[in-house]
Amino acid sequence: MSDSAKRITKATFFVIVATILSKLFGFLREVVLGAFYGTSYKLDSLIAAQLLPGVFFASILASFSTTFIPIYNEILVKESKEKASKFASKSLFLIVIAALIVAVVGSFLSPFIVKTIFKGFDESAKNLTWQLMRITFFYIIFLGANYILQGFLQSNENFVVPVLVGLPFNVIIIFSAFLKKEFDIYGVAVAFVLGYFSMVLFQMPFAIKKGFKFKLDINLRDPYIIKLFKLVLPVFIGSSVMSLNSFVDRYLASFLPEGSISALNFADKLNGVVYGIFSSSISAVIYPYLSRFFSSEKKDEFKKYLVLSINSLILIMVPITAAVLVLSREIVQFVYERGAFDSRSTYLTSGALMFFSLGYLGYAVREILSRTFYSIQDTITPMKNGILAVAINIVLNIVLVKYLKHKGLALGTSIVAYVSVFLLMRSLFKKIGKIELKSSMIVFVKALFASFVMVVSIVLAKNLIQIKTPVTFITKVTNLLIWGFVGVISYSTVIYLLKIKEAQWILENSVKVLKKLKGLAVK
């Protein structure tokens, strides 16, 4: 295995471990919010209040981070680390100032925004939503700084810290939920702002250690800053139109029975944990390396690691989709069903989760392919494909919501993920030449067969194994763990017998990283 492969492998598995830890706290946050607020109009209002800053303005801030990484790596390869650090400092300053202006204007216009967009809400829900939006708009200031620091750390091969920022963020929000009597849902809105601020504080010492030096510089004539702004607009448009899926879902859901928006949100959060642990980890690590391979003109290495990433995602995402399809109700019960989150909430959320899960592989591969284009500093192609995909998604949403209600919205999102993959892959072939995907098709067929065996095993286990204890929660946990274990063993056994080299690669390096973690724990 080459040095690059070893570094990528080591970083990926450490990021996966860190992501699992961070996602667990995110899970706990959603469980606590669900227990205190259920699928109520108050939580609907908080979610709606975050949609505009979260979907639109957070998208443009994330776009700066996305374009920052390839440009930073270009400066690093072609010039010097000192110049790259100056570029990072200038980018951070400019984004914070821009976000501050937007936050002030957005907060002032919140009543108008809510009345214009969320027409399906009654008056009390509208009033609560704009009051909360006036607070939540200000988190984009810290979110912008957070994205630049994440890009800086990832480019300097520190992939774990940007993932762990979720820990202080979630702790603050969880704490705010317990202050419901004192501050109600307003306290949670303030906690979101403080949570994003904690992300910046958490990362800053590590960034400084890697050479980040904050210097006040507003020279907009810097050629790299000009390049950053040129590349960022297509990325923003592309990511915004993809995020528009979420906005359209919530808008249409506002006309459905109470709790539909919350159910979609809870299911979407589960998606983030289920598929995000692996897809986000792999894409976060591979992206800076792809950028560096491109800047160094290592075309074969570039293609090799792209295919390896896709094959790894196939092996992971296909069985996860199958498992969620047969265990969606049990998963939602285990995670959320307590307090105000009742059986009706479970029914609504598990239905959305099932249809969201159909798109797991599509979401994951789409993210890798988008990052591939950004790594070669082509931001136009993903934007064009994204616009076409979202147009298809809007049509699907309008049609499917009539027949499947909120579940139709989830299904539309899943379908459009695969449409996006097809469009991006077709464009990538034209851009960098043919990529050998025969191995990916073979891996997919084998993973599909192994997943079928896994589903049969889980269904049999559910019918044959029913552990009962005096405590309902322990009963749920025990049975879910047993059924899940049966599924993992059956899938792993079939994959091993089919001799898939990517599976062997994952297993071997998982063992290495676990040994490394054990050694660190002992120390």
Per-residue pLDDT tens, the chain, 523 aa: give them.
455 555 666 666 677 777 777 777 877 887 787 777 765 667 777 777 777 676 666 667 777 777 888 888 888 877 778 888 888 888 888 888 888 888 888 888 888 877 777 776 777 778 888 888 888 888 888 888 888 898 888 888 787 788 788 888 888 988 887 887 777 788 888 888 898 899 999 999 998 888 888 777 666 677 888 888 888 878 777 766 666 666 777 777 766 766 677 777 778 777 777 766 777 777 777 777 777 777 776 777 778 778 888 888 888 889 989 988 888 888 888 777 776 777 777 888 888 888 888 888 988 888 888 888 888 878 888 888 888 888 888 888 888 877 777 788 888 888 888 988 888 888 888 887 777 788 888 889 999 999 999 999 998 988 888 888 777 777 878 888 888 888 888 988 888 888 776 666 666 655 555 555 455 444 4
Specify the pLDDT at position 521: 46
pLDDT at residue number 343: 77
The residue among 149, 144, 184 whose CA lies nearest residue 164 is 149
CA angle 413, 409, 61 (to 5 degrees): 50
Structure confidence at residue 4 (pLDDT): 56
pTM passes above 0.85: no
Q: Are 287 and 62 in contact (CB under 8 A)?
A: no
> For the packed helices 276-295 and 299-336, what is the interaxial angle rounded to 10 degrees?
160
What pLDDT score does 507 carry? 62
Q: What is the DSSP letter of 50?
A: H
What whole-number distance in Å separates Cα of residue 49 and Cα of residue 46? 5
Give, in order, the Cα–Cα distances in Å from 404 to each of 68, 185, 349.
Answer: 41, 31, 13
In this structure, the chain runs to a length of: 523
- The Cα 185–Cα 152 span in angstroms is 34
